[in-house]
Structure 1
């Protein structure tokens, strides 16, 4: 029996933003060996994209996130506590600079060879909004 979170994740996958659709397509082309999960539950949160083989969560933030910096920080901390590394991009960044975003994701994926749950302590946080 699916949990409420699973149902929410399914609905989010069906109603993906343009940026999520573009990134999903390009990520699958750029890293065909990765098993990329869209709207993947981790702890009490649903990550936009998760790649367990490299321990990476990719979050795509829309305009509403400018007011949610504290909530995003707590979300990132909780996901990192579960053993994942988190990188964030703005919607417009994905749409206007897709190849640059893909390059950043591929580069960041080589930094964390450990799968989630095997590391101790907090992972590295890369928040693209502050670059």
Structure 2
């Protein structure tokens, strides 16, 4: 039986915390987010502004904070996945020949595509 190559669903919930001042009040917005993030940051930002009645002068700060949070959590997830992949290689759980053949096929398929795009872009400019 072949091993399933599909990725294990590793969705995790992480809490986004945003502190801001509205008039005399110090406010804290705590929102649970699913990772890996499936939503567009701009859409999510807009929904948070509307649902939580956040003042418009906080808009840019919220968007920046949310973007930074999602980006840093994504990087942490990629790092964890990479570390697990390296551990599987070190333990011999992955066939090195099979892995190099898969990478070779990927490069053979992708490189001509990007070369063609580069040529087209050069001709246009």
Q: Same fold (TM over 0.5)?
A: no
Say which structure is richer in strand.
1
| Higher radius of gyration, 1 or 2 | 2
TM-score normalised per structure 1 = 0.25
Q: Which has the higher contact order (CA 8 A, sep 6+)?
A: 1
